[in-house]
Amino acid sequence: MLSTKFAIPDVIFGRGAITHLAQCAKRVGAQRVFFVSDKGVEDAGWVGLVKGILRANGLECVYFNDVNSNPRDTQVQQGVEAYREGECDVVVAIGGGSPMDAAKGIATIVGNGGEIRDYEGANRIMRPLPPMIFIPSTAGSSSDISQFCIITDIKRRVKMSIISRSLVPGISIIDPQLLVTQDRSLILASGIDALAHAIESYVSRLASPFTELHARNAIRLIIDNLIPAAEDKDIQALEQLSIASTSAGMSFSNAGLGDLHALAHALGGVCDVLHGWVHPTLLPSVMRYNMPSCMAKMGDIGRLIALTDTASDREAAHMGIERLERLFGELNLNTKLRELVPEKSDLEQICATATYDACHLTNPRPASAEDLMSICEEAW
């Protein structure tokens, strides 16, 4: 076994956890909070709640909401200017992956200077960031847990993966009550993203006993709770998805991901699709491709997904993939890559770009651009 690392933020978890925000902000020295969110979270009422909590506790706040899904380098730059102008000292973000990743990008430049593209790849952030406190409003991206930050480079049409220990926030406040304002579509896209994080990190080259424990926990909980959470907005099921997403985050943040995410990032740079909707089109094909390199682990995954106790890893692995395909069908999700990518001729560029993504490095089976092309052909 190689040496592995396992690093996570301080996690405050539970219904009502958001009320601890001001205390946490003061603990890390806040006087003027830079607060990042987006219009969807505003409409759900959570931005007002956070502003109220900060105000009631004597904390000033500069609010920034110019963030769309798949946040852009230009938006990060605008945030940096707002942070500097506001003379802020701590970054708070509430939302899904987009506001949290935008906040990470802003904190990176505030602490290190330059432009966000200077930090693309792994371990390129050298100086400390201002303290970050994140509050997820979806159960999926786990940006509140992870050392990942994904920002779109508009000119190059590339979603950059930026990975650094410094990008793990100091504190993650996870309040499952926030999940009730999501619609069915967002619950599913987020939950399936968390499932993809768990599956890819479980078979990653950098997996450790601690990441594996959390990955298995996440897979089991998502399979049990995704449908009641999405179809009935069952609060117990949403809470379990929140635990699952957090476990998946603890896993992939430390173990890394694989070629599903490498492809999803490359694809997201070309077409502005919600990240979670890429997985139903590509996940089964990537799992089939990787199977020969990690049959025992694919067997574990299959047993968790298909609720089987068959002793054969190969049989369990196939049963798991087939069960996933049926699940995506029952949920009426698009499983055809051609519905996402405008022109089939874009695939070549997407596959070439994916081989440069940091997630490609931890995929369990080596893959050339041609191998990725064959995966995309199968999923087309």
Q: How far is the CB of 213 from its own copies (least distance, A)?
A: 5
Which of residues 204, 225, 246, 363 is near its own copies by CB under 8 A?
A: 246
314: phi then psi, degrees, rounded to nearest 5: -60, -45
- Which residue's CB is nearer to its own copies, number 5 or number 336? 5
7 binds its own copies (CB under 8 A): yes
Q: How far is the CB of 222 from its own copies (least distance, A)?
A: 14
17 binds its own copies (CB under 8 A): yes
Query: Which tokens in the block code for residue 193?
Result: 């993203």
127 binds its own copies (CB under 8 A): no
Give the C-alpha separation, 59 to 42, whole Å. 19
Which of residues 182, 217, 253, 335 is near its own copies by CB under 8 A?
A: 217
Contact indicator for 265, 161 with CB cutoff of 8 Å: yes
5 binds its own copies (CB under 8 A): yes
Q: How far is the CB of 323 from its own copies (least distance, A)?
A: 23
Residue 171 β-bridge partners: 10, 133
Query: Which tokens in the block code for residue 90?
Result: 């701590």
Amino acid occupying residue 161 = S
Q: How far apart are the first and last CA of the chain?
A: 38
Give the C-alpha separation, 107 to 132, whole Å. 8
Contact indicator for 189, 275 with CB cutoff of 8 Å: yes
Q: How far is the CB of 67 from its own copies (least distance, A)?
A: 27
Give the C-alpha separation, 298 to 277, whole Å. 22
Residue 172 β-bridge partners: 11, 134
16 binds its own copies (CB under 8 A): yes
123 binds its own copies (CB under 8 A): no
152 binds its own copies (CB under 8 A): no
Stretch that binds its own copies, among 3-11, 194-202, 292-300, 331-339 (CB under 8 A): 3-11
- Which residue's CB is nearer to its own copies, number 254 or number 281? 254
Stretch that binds its own copies, among 64-72, 240-248, 274-282, 304-312 (CB under 8 A): 240-248
137 binds its own copies (CB under 8 A): no
Amino acid occupying residue 248 = A
What single string gives the DSSP state of each residue in 272-340? ---GGGGHHHHHHHHHHHHGGG-HHHHHHHHHHHHT---S-HHHHHHHHHHHHHHHHHHTT----GGGT
Residue 100 neighbours by CB distance under 10 Å: 32
- Which residue's CB is nearer to its own copies, number 253 or number 290? 253
- Which residue's CB is nearer to its own copies, number 17 or number 317? 17
Query: Which tokens in the block code for residue 6?
Result: 């396992």
- Which residue's CB is nearer to its own copies, number 116 or number 163? 163
Q: Which residues here bind its own copies, judged by CB under 8 A?
A: 1-8, 10-17, 19-20, 165, 208-210, 213-214, 217, 239, 243, 246-247
